[in-house]
Amino acid sequence: MRARDWGVLFAMCGAIFLEGIDVAMLNVALPAIRAELGMSTGELQWVMSAYVLGYGGFMLVGGRAADLFGRRQMFVFWLAVFLLFSGLGGLASEGWMLIVARFVTGVAAAFMTPAGLSIITTSFEEGPQRNKALLIYSGTAAGGFSIGLVVGGLLTSIHWRWVFFAPVAMSLLILIAALTLVPKSRRPERTGQRIDLAGGITITAAIVLLVLGVERATHTGIGWTLGTFAAGLAFLAAFIAIERRVAAPLVRLGIFRSGAVVRANAIGVLFVGAFFGFQFLVVLYLQELRGWSTLQTSFAMIVIGLDAVLSPTLTPKLVNRFGNARVTFGGLLLAALAYALFLPVGADWTYLMMLPGLILLSLAFSLVYGPLTIVATDGIDEADQGLAGGLLYTSFQFGAALGLSTVTAVNIAATASGTPAAMLDGYHAALVVPLAAALIAGLISAFGLRPRKRPATELGDDKILATHRSPS
């Protein structure tokens, strides 16, 4: 790649790393935040839920906005908003101030993330070069989350406000890099076209309500949960009806005729849901049952961050040899194996007994996340790249909310009391959820397998084949 290409990739990787590290650091800092601001458990839940609602609810609109108003313009503007409200979160003196700041930060990430992904998919030619860029990008995203667990623990030991101030400094550096290195994108021609406001409002309302229903399922009654889901589905039906009629739809429904896109998004929901649910259970196990400190837990989990090294090194070679579909399928099987190895977890397990499962999970993440991103955007028209990225990240976010809510519900239902034996029973029951999700994702992935044609030209064992269109 040219120096300019590396510059673009560097700026976009910085942004996705920022998004991952921001979420991970906040997870670690929640107890300290509650202690200083005097927040109840319900209020503390909203610190995370507000971000999830903003991020998941506006992702599709954010992806389409990048296509309609210019990718670089959207990326730079919303990165600046992310910077501003992250800083305001660090200055919060009341719980409600922090919740509002996190919601706006989530909205900013919802516009910034698909814009960044579409900058990569439109800056690099489809094929080996784009695949390499996407695998580096996905490895950086995963590494940000893993590293954020440790960095969050270190910063929280100083003061929890540094968890918000650190992303401000990093955002500023990325903003300067984007303005310097990313070329200005041509504003798309929209003469005579109307912006699909009705579609934007209905799909945002639908996703916000559906994510809210999942997020609050374990904290509210069945009636409230069913009512929220019903309202979300009603808005979704209204959105589909609007998109079928308007001349310039927010979401071109024809994109769902691609089996590869549908499979990639379905797998994304299940795979990310399983990962977040599993991680949540392991953190509870280590801290609540075993009495490990936040920093000890962070360092124990950082081994999952090996995928940041494996994604740009090992995964391209495997994709080169076997294709995206087979690599993804293999990664899902490894994820299922990793979760299965944790099923018999005991109250006296040593870290060495946990390590094989964690290493397998890091390998699985490196084999699934990047190839899934490639499949979800491969063959999509340039005008719809922001939409494709928005769809995928909406699936990821909804999957995270669904996974966390489901394992929490199962864990609570299976824990009869607060005794160590009851807590362990709860973990055992809840660990079945990520295992089942990974197996279902593997089944869906199997439908994308088909005989692979032998490519005519190879570029070397460390590059993806130039003439190869990987099966999806």
* CB 130, CB 121: distance < 8 Å: yes
- Output the six-digit token pair for 13: 């990787």
- DSSP secondary structure, 276-318, as one string: HHHHHHHHHIIIIIS---HHHHHHHHGGGGGHHHHHHHHHHHH
All domains in the chain, ordered by first residue: 3-182+250-446 (1.20.1250.20), 197-249 (no CATH)
Q: Could you tell me the two tokens for 238?
A: 């209204």
pLDDT at res. 189:
62
Q: How wide is the angle at C-alpha 173 spanned by C-alphas 27 and 116, nearest 5°?
A: 75
The secondary structure of residue 362, as a DSSP letter, is H
DSSP state of 383: G
The pLDDT of residue 421 is 84
Reported as a single tens digit per residue, the pLDDT across 137-193 is 887 887 787 778 778 878 887 888 998 998 899 999 999 998 988 887 666 665 555
pLDDT below 70 — which residues of the chain? 1, 41-42, 45, 185-195, 218, 416-418, 450-472
In angstroms, the CA 332 to CA 217 distance is 27
> Of all helices (H) and strands (E), which one includes residue 113?
helix 95-123
- Amino acid 424 reads L
DSSP code of residue 452: P
How far is C-alpha 470 from the chain's CA centre? 23
pLDDT of residue 467: 35
One-letter amino acid at 176 equals I
Give dist(CA 289, CA 293) in Å, integer: 11
How does pLDDT run across 241-295, given as a tens digit for each residue?
Answer: 988 888 778 777 777 888 888 999 999 999 998 988 898 888 888 877 888 887 7
The residues, any chain, with a CB within 8 Å of residue 427's CB and separated by 6 or more, are 281, 284, 285, 289, 345, 411
Angle at CA of residue 262, ends 258 and 61, nearest 5°: 100
CA distance 52 to 163: 18
Burial of 458 (0-12, 13-18, 19+ CB in 10 A): middle
User: Average model confidence (pLDDT) for the chain?
Assistant: 83
Cα–Cα dist 188/228, whole Å: 37
